[in-house]
Amino acid sequence: MSVVPLLRPEPRPEIMAIDLYVPGKSRVAGLAKAHKLSSNESPLGPSPKALEAFRSSAHDLAVYPDGSARILREAVGRRFGLDPERVLCGNGSDEILALLAHVFLRPGDEGLYSEHGFLEYPISIRAAGATPVVAPETDRTASVDALLAKVGPRTKIVYLANPNNPTGTYLPYAEVRRLHAGLPTDCLLVLDAAYAEYVARNDYAAGIEFAASRPNVVMTRTFSKIHGLASLRIGWAYGPAHVVDAVNRVRAPFNLNGPAIAAGVASLEDAAHIEAAIAHNARWLPWLAESIGKLGIGVTPSVANFLLLEFGRNGIGDAAEADAFLSARGFILRSVSAYGLPHCLRMTVGGEEANRGVVEALAEFVRGGRG
C-alpha cells in the first residue's frame, strides 16, 4: 500500500484543537475616546518610580538583559521575605503557567481546572500534549469537592485561580489546604494569585507560605494588574527549588527585557503607589456592585478589581445587546462567552469618570434606551 506524502508540514493534532485566545477589546471604531474596562488594568497606571526606571533603562537597549533577572528576583525576595533562588520570573505569569505544563505534563496526562477558570489553562495543557479536565463550580466559585472528584492517576497538574478570573470569587485558605491534602504527591498544584493584592478577606492567603513549604505547590503572581505594568509583561512565581530548577532549564534565557526588569524592581519598592491602588479599588468595587445591582443586573460578589455582570433577566436585554450599547457610548467591557458565561460581561474597576459613566449608561440600557 503506497503512502501519500504530505504536501506541507502539519502540526500536532492537539495544537489544532486549541481555541485561539481572544483578548478583550481595546478600542471602538469611530470614537476618539473610550474607557477600556475589559482587561482588568489599573486605572492608576504605573508607579512614577517605575516610569523613571523604564526611561533610564533606554541607555542600555544595545545590551542583553540579565538572563536570570537577578535584581528582580532579589527585589521580590526583599518585598515578600523569600529566597530569591526559588523565585522564577517570566514574560507575564502566562509564560510561567505554560512552562509548568510543558515541564510537568506528558501525553496521556491530565491537567485539571475549574469550570470558569482562566483560558490559559486548557491552552497550556493541550499544548503539552495532555488532556484538559474541567470540574464544575458552585455559585461560580471553584469547588474543592468537585475538583477532587475529577482527580485520577493521570492528574499531574491542577490550576487554581484564586481569586478567579472572570468571576472574581475566591477560595478561603482552609479550602486550598483541603484541596492540596486530597491530591496525589506527584501532582503539582499551581496557585494563580494574579489578583491577590486586592483581596481584603481575613480567610484568604495568596499561597506564599504554602509554596514555600510544600514540594508540589507553586504560586504565580503578576505585575500586570495592581502594579499597572501590563504592557511590559512581567510575572513571577515561587515554588520548590526542584520545580524552579526544572523550569529554568527550558525557559528562554532572556525572557524578560531590561526595561521590564528595571520597572518591576522600582514598582516593588513603591509601597505607597500599591497602597493607593488598593484603596482606590476598596472604594469603587463595592460602590459599583451596589449601584449596578440596584439596576436589576446580576452582580457576582467579587474580591478582585473587576465585576461579573449578568444580563437577560428581569426583562433586561442580553449581554450582547448590552455590550453593543455600552461600546457605542465609549465603555468597553469584556465578553466572557468563551468562559461558558454567554449571558455575562466582565467590567474592570476604572477611574471615577469611567465608573460613574458606565453606571449611567447601564441605567439607560435598563430603561430601554437600546438601539
How do residues 328-341 score in pLDDT, each as one tens digit? 999 999 999 999 99
User: Tell me: the pLDDT tens digits for 194-241?
Assistant: 999 999 999 999 999 999 999 999 999 999 999 999 999 999 999 999
Q: What is the DSSP code string of 191-208?
A: EE-TTGGG---TT---SH
| 44 vs 369, more confident | 44
The answer to the question of residue 3 being in a domain is no
The answer to the question of residue 284 being in a domain is yes
Q: What is the CATH number of the domain that holds 357?
A: 3.90.1150.10
The candidate with the shortest Cα–Cα distance to 160, out of 209, 80, 173, 233, is 173
The answer to the question of residue 14 being in a domain is no
The answer to the question of residue 2 being in a domain is no
The answer to the question of residue 148 being in a domain is yes
- Chosen domain end from 269, 288, 317: 269
User: Tell me: the pLDDT tens digits for 260-280?
Assistant: 999 999 999 999 999 999 999
Residue 96 is part of which domain span? 48-269
In terms of domains, do 261 and 296 share one? no
Q: How many CB atoms lie within 10 A of CB 88?
A: 26
Report residue 371's pLDDT band, with 50, 70 and 90 as the boundaries.
very low
In terms of domains, do 263 and 296 share one? no
In terms of domains, do 38 and 54 share one? no
Antiparallel, parallel or unpaired: β 298-300 and 141-142:
unpaired
% of residues, the chain, pLDDT over 90: 88
Q: How many domains does the chain have?
A: 2
**Cα separation of 234 and 124, whole Å?**
18
State residue 23 phi and psi, 5-degree precision.
-70, 170
What lies within 8 Å, CB to CB, of 280 at 6+ separation is: 43, 44, 349
Ordered alpha helix ranges (H), 188-346: 208-213, 241-248, 258-268, 271-293, 319-328
In terms of domains, do 230 and 118 share one? yes
3-state secondary structure of 143: coil
**Cα separation of 250 and 2, whole Å?**
39
What lies within 8 Å, CB to CB, of 39 at 6+ separation is: 23, 24, 26, 230, 334, 348
pTM: 0.93
The answer to the question of residue 105 being in a domain is yes
In terms of domains, do 123 and 256 share one? yes
Q: What per-residue confidence (pLDDT) applies to 26?
A: 65
Question: Across the chain, what does the average pLDDT equal?
Answer: 94
Cβ atoms of 246 and 253 within 8 Å: the answer is no
Residues pairing with 36 in the sheet: 332
- Chosen domain end from 215, 234, 269: 269
